């Protein structure tokens, strides 16, 4: 088995369209502040509503800076199937782990098609929660940094996930997902911080990726088929299983 050529063709065509014809929505223009302290959740959601409602390809641009976001759900169904998140900055979770600790997920894309996430860093700020768990205190379960759910034709390229509270990237109920040139970084004593978890999905390709975490580098859940994993650097971590 080899990675899907159909998906590669989709990536090439989609990238060309999004670079040449896309309307761009800059989150700073819409009110986001890259100081790492000001809650920019509303500005990101406003950018998503505009991009999702566009009948032509759209780009959401995140300039350099640190943007504080609470739990954020980017939901379809959109009027186009070519939305690019181009991230030059860092998205930052609240430093108080109790804010997201019982929400399950931090950033969620669900019921979307043709979304690309390019570059940038997602900082889950999970170190405090790991310390709480390692001390055996009463702690929340924690939030997965990025969940892609019930979606298709997704590209994640050049993204860094740093210090997630729980799983870094969760792909669930999806079809045709390309993950490449991703970095997943957390210390070896981080708890339940699987790098990439795939479940109930088909046609997922994970290529040329570096994963250093305290749990499984890649974990494979039930309902997964046509999964291709190639050129992965794993460690620390518990391998691929």
Q: Which residues are catalytic?
A: 215, 238
101 within 8 A of 139, measured Cβ to Cβ: yes
Beta-ladder partners of 183: 160, 210
156 within 8 A of 121, measured Cβ to Cβ: no
> For the chain, how big is the Rg over CA atoms in Å?
17
Count the helix, strand and coil residues of the chain and give each as a percent rounded to the nearest 5. 15, 40, 45
- Which H or E run includes 44? helix 41-53
Q: What are phi and psi of 9, to 5 degrees?
A: -65, -40
Alpha-carbon distance 67 to 32, whole Å? 7
């Amino acid at each position: 088995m080899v990675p899907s050529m159909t998906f590669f063709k989709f990536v090439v065509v989609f990238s060309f369209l999004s670079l040449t014809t896309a309307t761009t929505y800059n989150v700073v223009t819409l009110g986001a502040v890259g100081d790492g302290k000001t809650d920019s959740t509303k500005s990101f959601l406003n950018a998503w509503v505009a991009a999702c409602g566009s009948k032509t390809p759209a780009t959401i641009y995140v300039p350099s800076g640190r943007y504080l976001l609470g739990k954020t759900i980017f939901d379809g169904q959109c009027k186009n199937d070519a939305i690019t998140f181009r991230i030059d900055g860092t998205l930052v979770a609240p430093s108080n782990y109790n804010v997201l600790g019982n929400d399950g997920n931090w950033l969620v894309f669900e019921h979307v098609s043709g979304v690309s996430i390019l570059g940038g860093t997602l900082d889950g700020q999970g170190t405090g929660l790991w310390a709480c768990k390692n001390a055996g205190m009463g702690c929340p379960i924690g939030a997965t940094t990025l969940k892609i759910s019930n979606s298709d034709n997704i590209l994640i390229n050049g993204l860094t996930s740093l210090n997630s509270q729980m799983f870094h990237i969760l792909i669930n109920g999806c079809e045709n997902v390309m993950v490449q040139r991703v970095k997943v970084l957390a210390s070896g004593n981080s708890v339940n911080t699987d790098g990439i978890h795939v479940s109930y999905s088909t046609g997922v390709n994970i290529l040329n990726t570096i994963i250093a975490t305290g749990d499984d580098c890649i974990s494979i859940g039930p309902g997964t088929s046509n999964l291709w994993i190639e050129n992965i650097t794993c460690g620390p971590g518990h391998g691929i299983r």
